[in-house]
């Protein structure tokens, strides 16, 4: 591909140098540059890619895109032959260049995207499974894993930069994929990391307090989510799937200007769940749709998964599956790692130990309510272990303390990625809410010791909830990440008899 072809895909302010140079790839990280790559130098939240242009050129970059006028002028003066472009928006240019370099795979795949505070990962996983049950090949980009035609890889970010998304899309197209499913975080929508992606089906799960360290207010947080339904550098999605039981559902509906609006819920919406029956390892409901009613049964657990199933089911219908196809596919759905994941060895112990990613007060309330339902018949107790992340929204710490205390019989307060903060300082803010509830609690900053304490306190019929980290495999401290896995640690404690 020639540089002139790449320029044609960009909204460039100025260009300079040769237009006939060959382009073989695109990078925004100078460490990953190879000979023939376009290097897109853009200003970000923590660093400025323009500082690394010299490194990229030394490694063989054949062209440079910059969002700095000063850098553009200097390079044009010093290297008049260099293939160079000045753009107003670095991230938008990265998406435009990447789409052209990778052969516009976003135009081949039909993209379904989900946003919301809770349920994004599960909904994305469920939709992928439903599509696969109908014989579709998929690319999945999510918080936990990335899938390309069934191959599983670990994910680094909930929503990667556009270059990395499009590279995966291109790989998916080469392996015969026709569908893409991805989570779109509020950060990615706000920062335009998904610029130009034509979303066919957009889903909204819910909105509760989270990420206010970044967005500042709930209104800005909601506005970032709502960008999915207006379109980010692309037309509004063809179909919107929106949870009307959530107070912010109407806001999302107002932003949507596509063709088909599908609203869902238990209390409201045109695609409703009625006669809901919940048991451990089984969720059943009658799905009332504009195309008739169908019984849905799945091996998932809890009311939250009713909503996740509704969102995924609506999206699957929008992508061409019938309600009967969806009902058949629901029976074989698999649980998502770190989402109400039962720890091996629990059955031998006589009580249940569950690892879950719940890290907001709303998610914690839902998790504890589910656990309470499961132990009701045995009159068991709910033991909840949780912490709050450092260098993140501090206002949710006492709220999470109240959520845990109000629903649990015994609470263990511990660390959850303290980062640069002192663990005990975070815990002190959490305890403000815990103490208000009057629940019995203990404090143990060491998460391994805290897990042992929570499991050691359990008796037959109880359920132990290890909340906050879910699928994560590290604990992040001021000095950096340290390997840590709630499931592995809990399984070890169970094997060793609660020690």
- Regarding whether 269 and 154 lie in a shared domain, the answer is yes
Report field, pTM of the whole predicted structure over 0.75:
yes
Q: What is the residue-wise DSSP string for 30-98?
A: GGG--TTEEEEE-B-SS-BGGGGHHHHHHTT--EEEES-HHHHHHHHHH-TTSEEEEES-HHHHHHHHH
- Rounded CA separation 420/256 (Å): 40
Strand ranges of the sheet holding 151-154, from the earlier edge strand across to the other edge: 151-154, 145-148, 138-141, 179-183, 110-115, 199-204, 239-243, 260-265, 271-279, 282-289, 292-298
- Regarding whether 130 and 83 lie in a shared domain, the answer is no
* Distance (Å) of CA 128 to CA 153, 191, 238, 319, 322: 15, 26, 19, 11, 15
Domain boundary among the residues 330, 353, 374 is at: 330
State the pLDDT at residue 215.
Answer: 60
State the pLDDT at residue 214.
Answer: 65
pLDDT band at 278 (very low <50, low <70, confident <90, very high): confident
Let me know if residue 335 belongs to a domain.
no
* Distance (Å) of CA 55 to CA 40, 60, 456: 12, 9, 54
* Distance (Å) of CA 374 to CA 278, 310, 380, 407, 490: 9, 22, 9, 13, 20
- Regarding whether 487 and 347 lie in a shared domain, the answer is yes
- Regarding whether 354 and 471 lie in a shared domain, the answer is yes
Q: Which residue has the higher pLDDT, 54 or 302?
A: 54
Domain at 378, CATH number: 3.90.190.20
For residue 310, give the H/E element and its range. helix 303-318
pLDDT in tens, 200-259: 999 999 998 666 666 678 888 889 899 999 999 999 999 999 999 999 999 999 999 999
pLDDT in tens, 412-457: 999 999 999 999 999 999 999 999 999 999 999 999 999 999 999 9
On average, the pLDDT of the chain sits at 93
- Rounded CA separation 51/422 (Å): 33
The percent of residues in the chain predicted with pLDDT above 90, rounded, is 80
Other C-beta atoms closer than 10 Å to the C-beta of 43 total 15
- Rounded CA separation 418/396 (Å): 14
Q: How many structural domains are present in the chain?
A: 3
- Regarding whether 384 and 312 lie in a shared domain, the answer is no
- Rounded CA separation 133/128 (Å): 9
Phi, psi at 118, each rounded to 5°: -120, 150
Please measure the distance between the N-terminal and C-terminal CA atoms of the chain and give it in whole angstroms. Answer: 62
Across 100-114, 119-133, 140-154, 273-287, least confident range:
140-154
- Rounded CA separation 465/181 (Å): 29
- Regarding whether 301 and 347 lie in a shared domain, the answer is no
Domain boundary among the residues 58, 77, 101 is at: 101
Q: Answer for the pair 328, 133: CB distance below 8 angstroms, yes or no.
A: yes
CA 174 to chain centre: 25
- Rounded CA separation 237/252 (Å): 12
Q: What is the DSSP letter of 288?
A: E
The percent of residues in the chain predicted with pLDDT above 70, rounded, is 98
pLDDT band at 480 (very low <50, low <70, confident <90, very high): very high
- Regarding whether 96 and 109 lie in a shared domain, the answer is no
Q: Which residues of 382-397 are buried (b: 16+ CB within 10 A; e: fewer)?
A: bbbbbbbbbebbbebb
- Regarding whether 321 and 249 lie in a shared domain, the answer is yes
Domain at 258, CATH number: 3.40.1190.10
pLDDT in tens, 125-140: 999 999 999 999 999 9
Has residue 46 got a pLDDT over 80? no
- Regarding whether 352 and 289 lie in a shared domain, the answer is no
Phi, psi at 186, each rounded to 5°: -65, -35
Please report the sign of the dihedral spanned by the C-alpha atoms of residue 152, residue 189, residue 90, residue 95.
positive
Let me know if residue 336 belongs to a domain.
no
pLDDT band at 342 (very low <50, low <70, confident <90, very high): confident
Domain boundary among the residues 56, 74, 101 is at: 101
- Candidates 61, 68, 78; CA nearest to 14 is 68
Domain at 20, CATH number: 3.40.1390.10
Q: Answer for the pair 350, 424: CB distance below 8 angstroms, yes or no.
A: no
State the pLDDT at residue 187.
Answer: 87
- Candidates 85, 94, 81, 28; CA nearest to 55 is 28
- Regarding whether 486 and 372 lie in a shared domain, the answer is yes
Structural domain harbouring 408: 341-495
Which pair of tokens denotes residue 492?
Answer: 């070890």
Average pLDDT over residues 382-388: 98
Residues 6 or more apart whose CB falls under 8 angstroms from that of 321 comprise 130, 131, 134, 329
- Regarding whether 211 and 239 lie in a shared domain, the answer is yes
State the pLDDT at residue 209.
Answer: 67
* Distance (Å) of CA 273 to CA 83, 153, 225, 294: 57, 34, 25, 10
- Candidates 397, 388, 401, 499; CA nearest to 448 is 499
Q: Answer for the pair 210, 357: CB distance below 8 angstroms, yes or no.
A: no
């Amino acid at each position: 591909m020639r540089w002139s072809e790449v320029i044609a895909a960009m909204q460039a302010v100025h260009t300079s140098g040769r237009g006939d140079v060959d382009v073989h790839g695109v990078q925004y990280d100078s460490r990953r540059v190879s000979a023939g790559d376009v290097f897109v130098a853009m200003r970000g939240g923590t660093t400025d890619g323009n500082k690394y242009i010299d490194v990229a050129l030394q490694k063989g970059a054949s062209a440079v895109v910059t969002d700095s006028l000063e850098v553009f002028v200097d390079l044009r003066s010093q290297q008049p032959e260099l293939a160079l472009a000045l753009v107003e928006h670095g991230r938008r240019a990265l998406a435009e260049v990447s789409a052209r370099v990778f052969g516009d795979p976003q135009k081949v795949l039909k993209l379904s995207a989900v946003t919301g505070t809770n349920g994004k990962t599960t909904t994305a996983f469920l939709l992928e499974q439903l599509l696969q049950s109908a014989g579709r090949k998929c690319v999945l980009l999510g918080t936990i894993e990335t899938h390309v035609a069934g191959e599983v890889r670990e994910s680094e970010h909930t929503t990667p930069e556009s270059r990395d998304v499009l590279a995966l899309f291109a790989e998916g197209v080469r392996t015969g994929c026709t569908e893409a499913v991805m989570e779109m975080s509020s950060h990615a929508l706000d920062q335009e990391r998904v610029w130009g992606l034509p979303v066919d089906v957009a889903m909204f799960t819910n909105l509760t307090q989270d990420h206010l360290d970044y967005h500042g207010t709930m209104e800005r947080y909601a506005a970032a989510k709502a960008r999915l339904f207006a379109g980010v550098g692309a037309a509004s999605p063809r179909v919107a799937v929106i949870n009307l039981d959530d107070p912010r559902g109407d806001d999302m509906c107002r932003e949507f200007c596509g063709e088909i609006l599908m609203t869902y819920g238990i209390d409201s919406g045109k695609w409703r769940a009625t006669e809901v029956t919940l048991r451990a390892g089984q969720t059943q409901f009658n799905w009332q749709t504009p195309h008739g009613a169908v019984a849905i049964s799945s091996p998932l657990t809890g009311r939250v998964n009713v909503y996740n199933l509704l969102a995924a089911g609506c999206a699957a219908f929008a992508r061409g599956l019938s309600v009967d196809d969806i009902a058949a596919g629901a029976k074989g759905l698999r649980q998502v790692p770190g989402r109400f994941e039962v720890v091996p060895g629990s059955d031998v112990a006589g009580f249940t130990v569950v690892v879950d990613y719940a890290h907001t007060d709303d998610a914690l309330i839902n998790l504890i309510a589910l656990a309470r339902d499961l132990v009701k018949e045995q009159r068991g107790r709910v033991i909840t272990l949780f912490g709050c992340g450092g260098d993140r929204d501090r206002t949710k710490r006492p709220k999470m303390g109240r959520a845990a205390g109000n629903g649990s019989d015994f609470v263990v307060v511990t660390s959850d990625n303290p980062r640069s903060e002192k663990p005990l300082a975070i815990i002190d803010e959490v305890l403000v809410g815990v103490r208000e509830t009057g629940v019995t609690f203990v404090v143990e900053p060491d998460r391994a010791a805290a897990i042992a304490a929570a499991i050691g306190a359990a008796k037959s019929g109880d359920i132990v909830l290890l909340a906050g980290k879910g699928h994560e495999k590290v604990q992040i401290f001021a000095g950096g990440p340290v390997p840590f896995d709630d499931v592995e640690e809990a399984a070890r404690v169970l094997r060793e008899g609660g020690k």
